[in-house]
Structure 1
Amino acid sequence: MEDRVSETDLAEFDAGGDQQDKLFDVLSNQRRRVLLHSLQASQLPVSVGKLATKLATWEAQQPLSDRSGDDRTTIEMTLVHNHLPKMAEAELITYDNTEQRVALANQTDNVWVHLQTMTSS
């Protein structure tokens, strides 16, 4: 079989760089994707506690094989110590650790393109 990708094609290919890698890393986690949808729907800053409750409710509705088994308190701890800082670093959200409030960042158009592509396939 003939290789149809030329050296020139590969040289011109844009793999997206570090920012693209961060975005894919953040979007690779199901909880983070659910959080983004939840924040998009609210359009206002939301408390971390409310987000944890929404995630726990969402997870309880999933098939048993897809559930993490985490309770609301454990989910809130993973948000505070893992998910929210990672999402803020990727500039997808604004996270006020002192006030425990989260909002969707202004520059998320690129994210919705990726999410729509992922959900349509």
Structure 2
Amino acid sequence: MSKSQSRSTGGIDIDQLRVPEDDGRNESLTRDEIFEMLSNRRRRFVIQYLKNEEEAGTLSDLAEHVAAWENDSTVPELSASERKTVYSSLQQFHLPKMDDAGIVEFDRRAGVVELTDAASELDIYLEIVDQYDIPWSFYYMGISAIGAILVGLASLGVQPFAAIPPAGWTVFLLGTFGVSSVSHFLLSRGMRLESAETPAEVDDV
């Protein structure tokens, strides 16, 4: 297979993610197509499992692990209906869709699934936001707004904010941004699909 090529020097450009060109499929996935692929938790679990295995997997094993994650259970504890539901869904819908997109190679007859070079080279991670949390973008916007207000009040001599000079507020805000950035980095690493044997989302099921 041909390897994905990025137009950027910092990593994969997901607007031009290349997929194998020898099977007549589209040469690239658009941003919308990638997000559509990853919008479904079951498909994210498929990628997680295959990344952990680092080799082709069988449909039956894949379905069992995905079902266990979805039901917050273990493979031995799964019921026959839970296994069958996920197996049928993967076989009939999700894997063919991922195969058409070039993210996996699915041999329906042999029941074998394997990630393509396109998927393995994409460092996929998702910022998962709980219903009681706020996105990081809003968090940083909030800090910026509050910082501007504090520095402005200190500059105007408004008490008690003027007790700390604008330079002091600036240092405080820089420290806040530094700590927040490190926390954001560590949490984002924890959300990477290949960073753990069990998806981080399982804890939220």
With the length of structure 1 as denominator, give the TM-score of the two structures. Answer: 0.70
Do structure 1's residue 35 and structure 2's residue 38 form an aligned pair? no
Match of 1:105 among 112, 116, 129: 116
Q: 1:80 aligns with which of 82, 88, 91?
A: 91
Counterpart Cα distance in 1 of 2:49 and 2:57: 9
SS class of match (1:44): coil
Contact 1:26/1:87 (8 A) holds in 2: yes
Identity %: 28
The AA in structure 1 aligned to 2:116 is A
Question: Which entry has the higher C-alpha Rg, 1 or 2?
Answer: 2
TM-score by length of 2: 0.43
Shift of 1:59: 1.4
Aligned residue-pair number: 96
Please state if 1:116 is matched with 2:116: no
The 8 Å contact of residues 34 and 55 in structure 1, kept in 2 or not, is answered as: yes
Segments of structure 1 that go 5 or more residues without pairing to the other structure are: 1-15, 63-69
Shift in Å, 1:89 = 1.3
Give 2:60's match in structure 1, choosing from 21, 27, 49: 49
User: Residue type of the partner of 1:50?
Assistant: D
Output the aligned Cα RMSD: 2.1
Alignment match, 1:60: 71
Which structure ranks higher in relative contact order (CA pairs < 8 Å, sequence separation ≥ 6)? Answer: 1
Runs (4+) of structure 1 exceeding 4 A deviation are none
CA distance in 2, matches of 1:28, 1:117: 10
More helix by share: 1
Unaligned 5+ runs, structure 2: 1-14, 17-28, 74-80, 129-187, 192-205
